Structure formats: C-alpha cells, structure tokens
Amino acid sequence: MQIDTDLTGLFGITLAIVALLVRLPRVRNLPLRQKAALLAGAIIVVSIPVGGLSLAEFVRGITGDLSVFTLVLLAVSLARSLGGYALVGEMSRRAVLQAILLVAVLFYPLVLGIGMFDPYRLGYGNLWFMMALLGAAIWASLRSSALLALGLALAVAAWNAGWYESTNLWDYLIDPWLAIYAFASQVKYWLARLKVRKHA
C-alpha cells in the first residue's frame, strides 16, 4: 500500500499546532468538552487552503516533517493536557529528553562537517546502526523506559513503511526542533534545581 507522505507530514504539523494550542492558559482552563470542540475547530481551520496553501502546509514548508519521536512526545503532552493524566512519569520523560539531547550534541556537529565521520549515512539502512537501535530499545525496556522503547520502535516501523518522503532513518528519529526543545527543557530543569539549592 502506498502511503501519502504529504498527508502524514501534515498530520504531524497539525498535531504540533493542536498540542501547542492546548497548552495556552486560556485553553487549558476550559472544560473538557469546550476544549475538545475548540481543538476540533482548530484542526479544521489549519486544514483549509487559503491562497493555495493551508496553515498546516505553510508551517510544514518552514519546519519540514517532524520526527516520529517528536510526534510521540506531542501525543503524550496532548493526552496529559486533555485528560489530565500523565501517560508516562516525569522521570521517564526527562530521561528521553536527555537521551535526545545527547544524540543531538553528538549528531549535528558531525553532520555539519566537524570531523571525517558522517553519521547521517548510517540512516540509509546500515546493519550495525539497526543493531544499535535494537540494543537501545531492549535496554530501554529493561530499564522500564517504555517511552524511549516505543519511540524507537515506532520510528523504525515508520521508516520501514516509508511514512515520510525521506528514506533516511535519522529523519524519523530526530529533528532540529526536537533537539532545541530537549536543550531548552534541560536548561529549564538545571535552572529550577539551581534555584532550589539556593533556597535550601
């Protein structure tokens, strides 16, 4: 079955817009039914073409397709915002963001040409890279980090199915926006801990 890569890419952008919208204080404080109606309306609005492009298509043109890991984290955040129930613990979520930040710090400088090794080439189906991801998923499962294991499994499955236009697995695992978010989240965490130590 041929997957419409445009639709899947637009789905990711729409999910991001909705997840960000629901985090706004005014929206967050609405009753669940009103919140759901507002989000349904937002999905329709961002999907309506204006001048040949919908808002979702315009944003996608700027950001590109979001990685599967980004979509997993957005879905977790949206579920928490809508239902008030955290699907994963804060420690597990933070561990995933720290792992993403570590990968980003190692990955992006090398991709940009610092050094002789380009890890991006591994994403075209390198057996050792796939084995390393399998090992990471098993390790995450044993460490009870279901979010990390799920993200890895979904990213590999989506890549295998040709979910996006890209044929490189790295584009399913990480994107610059996710790296920036992981960095900002870690800085916020460090500042909060520093504030607690100062007041201790």
Q: What is the pLDDT of residues 89-106, one digit of tens each?
A: 778 888 889 999 999 999
- The pLDDT score that the predictor gives to residue 84 is 67
Contacts of residue 196, Cβ cutoff 8 Å, sequence gap at least 6: none
- pLDDT of 1 above 60: no
Contact, 72 vs 150, CB < 8 A?
Answer: yes
- The pLDDT score that the predictor gives to residue 200 is 62
**pTM for the complete prediction?**
0.86
Contact, 144 vs 93, CB < 8 A?
Answer: no
18: buried, middle or exposed (CB in 10 Å: 19+, 13-18, 0-12)?
Answer: buried
Structure tokens at 145: 């980090």
- The pLDDT score that the predictor gives to residue 105 is 93
- pLDDT of 4 above 60: yes
Contact, 9 vs 68, CB < 8 A?
Answer: no
- The pLDDT score that the predictor gives to residue 3 is 58
Structure tokens at 166: 């890209």
- The pLDDT score that the predictor gives to residue 155 is 93
- The pLDDT score that the predictor gives to residue 182 is 92
Domain positions in the chain are 1-64
- The pLDDT score that the predictor gives to residue 191 is 86
Question: 26-68 pLDDT, tens per residue?
Answer: 888 888 788 888 888 988 988 888 877 888 888 888 888 899 9
State how far the Cα of 124 lies from the Cα of 168, in Å rounded to an integer.
5
State how far the Cα of 32 lies from the Cα of 70, in Å rounded to an integer.
24
